Amino acid sequence: MTEFLRRGGSLRIRNGLIFDGVSEVLHERDLVIIDGIIQPDGAEAPADVPDWDACGGLVTPGFIDAHLHAYALSLDLIRNETTQLSYIAHVARRRLGSALRRGFTTVRDVAGGDAGRHRAIAEGLFTAPRYFYSGPALSQSGGHGDPVRADETLCFHSGPGLEIVDGVDALRVAARERLRGGASVIKVMASGGVISPTDPLRIPQYSHDELAVVVEEATRRGVYVAAHAYSPAAIQHALAAGVRSIEHGNLMDAATAQLMADAGAYLVPTLAAYDAMSRLGEQVGLTSVGLAKNAEVLEQGRVAIALAAERGVRVGFGSDLMGELETEQLAGLRLQHDVSGTLALLRSLTSVNADLVQDDRLGRIRPGAAADVLVFDGNPFDDPTLLWREDRRPRVVLDGVPVLAS
Ligand code: ZN
Ligand code: ZN
């Protein structure tokens, strides 16, 4: 289990309407937090504990973004992978801080992160969401993680967010290296992608044996594999190898959704990314190849969520925003709300994503849980725009400590 520093603040939140992360029944009651832990209903807070009046507003578990790229400076993969890590670390710090202030108290970084970054956060060198990471995402040569264009001679092997690894034996080593570095998930590129220059969107990537060896190493360690995949063929290819977390999944069909449900796999939709790239991609440097690929997956992303939910697939939430598009994180809530509605979206953001990252301290308001909590100025069940409006962000509590808005 990923360990986090216990800052352990104490707080009493009065007059809140509690959404526990799962139940559609909301409870009007006070919430008492002692040393960063949510206390049983009716617990007394010591007199010196700070006191907040929620004024009847909704109190929810802190949100979890299960597909974030803290290291993605831009939509230019070469630039991202060749910029010095000293600079990237500062950009990542800013991006993580922004996510926290929007209400994301936990993120899962699926192309980057290392034990040093996790340690810096755990030691309180800067304030950031709880940070789960995969280390560099694994890609085959010419796959979604390969930034080299067809007519270039550049020799690219690895960077902070991506690594090209081919072959079963090399992938076994790469998986073990990530596990040594504290990765709680291993990320593989299992189909073409929007911003990669040479790969068709729909074609599965990696052989079965290559994917299966990564799953074998991860599973033995008690972690799991997340696969970037769009098409039914690519999703089925990933599921057959034992992948647990399907990232994007936009081109999914009904039969594939059923296979996901049968396998107990999660879908992590990332609608914000395609919406933002369609509106802003050209001005932030997305190539014409990328724009054409993006158009193909944009509309189908909504359909995929509906198909998955109908068949009982657990649907999480991710943003997947790179470069300047990072500011569109909250738009993802609006887009997923259009398909799922308030209750399902809130579950995706809290308990479903917590189960996905395999940490039962997160994503629920219940006794003993970590006190990552949002206090809304109103009730998003009455006014869902409160979930995504920049000017109405909730008060954010991380491990029992209020996060300042500035
Ligand atoms: Zn992806
Ligand atoms: Zn991504």
- Name the band, by pLDDT with cuts 50, 70 and 90, for residue 406: low
Cβ-based neighbours of 229, under 8 Å, separated by 6 or more:
190, 191, 204, 235, 237, 238, 243, 246, 247, 248, 249
Distance 193 CA to ligand 1 centre (A): 6
Distance 68 CA to ligand 2 centre (A): 7
Q: Which ligand is nearest to the CA of 69?
A: 2
- Name the band, by pLDDT with cuts 50, 70 and 90, for residue 86: very high
- Name the band, by pLDDT with cuts 50, 70 and 90, for residue 257: very high
CB 346 within 8 A of CB 8: no
| Biggest alpha carbon–alpha carbon distance for the chain | 69
In the block, tokens 């920049």 appear at 390
Distance 405 CA to ligand 2 centre (A): 27
Average pLDDT over residues 22-29: 97
Distance 388 CA to ligand 1 centre (A): 23
**What are the tokens at 160?**
């902070």
Amino acid at site 77 = L
Q: What are the angstrom distances between the C-alpha of 332 and each of 17, 68, 350?
A: 24, 12, 15
CB 394 within 8 A of CB 103: yes
In the block, tokens 């907040």 appear at 52
Of all residues in the chain, the percent with pLDDT exceeding 70 is 98
Cβ-based neighbours of 176, under 8 Å, separated by 6 or more:
217
Q: Which ligand is nearest to the CA of 143?
A: 1
CA angle, residues 184, 79, 181, in degrees to nearest 5? 20
- Name the band, by pLDDT with cuts 50, 70 and 90, for residue 243: very high
Among 146, 130, 150, smallest CA distance to 138 is for 146
The confidence score (pLDDT) of residue 299 equals 86
Q: Look at residue 399 and tell me whether its pLDDT is greater than 70.
A: yes
The confidence score (pLDDT) of residue 286 equals 81
27-63 pLDDT per residue, tens: 999 999 999 999 999 999 899 999 999 999 999 999 9
The residue ranking higher by pLDDT, 285 or 190, is: 190
Ion ligand 2 residues within 5 Å by Cβ? 320
- Name the band, by pLDDT with cuts 50, 70 and 90, for residue 298: confident
Beta bridge partners of 398: 401
The confidence score (pLDDT) of residue 405 equals 66
Q: What is the DSSP letter of 44?
A: P
In the block, tokens 């209903």 appear at 41
198-207 pLDDT per residue, tens: 888 899 999 9
Mean pLDDT of the chain: 95
Of all residues in the chain, the percent with pLDDT exceeding 90 is 84
Average pLDDT over residues 131-153: 94
Tell me how far apart the alpha carbons of residues 125 and 134 are, in angstroms, rounded to a whole number.
21
Q: Which ligand is nearest to the CA of 75?
A: 2
Distance 69 CA to ligand 2 centre (A): 7
- Name the band, by pLDDT with cuts 50, 70 and 90, for residue 7: confident
The per-residue DSSP string of 286-299 comes to --HHHHHHHHHHHH
The confidence score (pLDDT) of residue 281 equals 84
Average pLDDT over residues 63-76: 95
360-373 pLDDT per residue, tens: 999 999 999 999 99
- Name the band, by pLDDT with cuts 50, 70 and 90, for residue 142: very high
149-177 pLDDT per residue, tens: 999 888 899 999 999 999 999 999 999 99
C-alpha radius of gyration, the chain, whole number: 20
- Name the band, by pLDDT with cuts 50, 70 and 90, for residue 282: confident
Distance 279 CA to ligand 1 centre (A): 19
Q: Which ligand is nearest to the CA of 109?
A: 2
Among 314, 268, 266, 322, smallest CA distance to 294 is for 322
Q: In what order do the strands lie in the sheet with 266-268?
A: 162-164, 137-139, 185-189, 224-229, 245-248, 266-268, 314-315
Strands (E), 231-364: 245-248, 266-268, 314-315
Q: Look at residue 9 and tell me whether its pLDDT is greater than 90.
A: yes
Tell me how far apart the alpha carbons of residues 149 and 207 are, in angstroms, rounded to a whole number.
22
**What are the tokens at 355?**
């189960």
Chain-centroid distance of CA 116 in Å reads 20
